[in-house]
Amino acid sequence: MFEIVTAKSWSEFILPGALILIGGALLAAKRSAAGRTFLYVAGVQLLAYLASDLSKPQFGRLRPYEALAQGGADRWFVGANSFPSGHVAFFAGFVVPLIVLVPRSWPLIVVPLMVVLQRVLSADHYLSDVGAAFLIVGVAARLLLPIAPRPLR
């Protein structure tokens, strides 16, 4: 369901692209805080997803179901793509910057946590895969903080 709402099932770049366009239009209309909000959320989401996706080939970790099919051994550097989780980076990359900007929106963390649960229970990822994705999101959120408006209280 989350993939349909965010258009991820069509392309991982529709959501951040739309947010960037809206943010740019708001900046052009002299709505600085609103424009910076959209650009910050888009930037974190896009940076986190790209960092996750581009690092997968470097680690080459088997997915849990692939490891089970090969005798159960967790293997790295074999050309697979389990580490880190792109799904978690995508959804946490959208939600975490919203929580940074609007701390009272912390219940939104349920969305990426549901994705974590689904990815781990379906044997697509290990806990370390999803944990690494959250770490990437945290680093992206911190790196791009200078472009964000002040958080709302």
- pLDDT bin (cut points 50, 70, 90) of residue 16 is confident
pTM score, two decimals? 0.89
- In a domain, residue 7? The reply is no
23-54 residues labelled b (16+ CB within 10 A) or e (exposed) = beebbeeeeeebbbbbbbbbbbbbbbbbbbee
Split at pLDDT 50, 70, 90, the class of 4 is confident
5 within a domain of the structure (yes/no): no
Domain count, the chain: 1
Domain that holds residue 108: 12-146
pLDDT at 153: 56
Is position 151 within any domain? no
Q: Chain centroid to CA 51: how far?
A: 9
Indicate whether 1 belongs to any domain: no
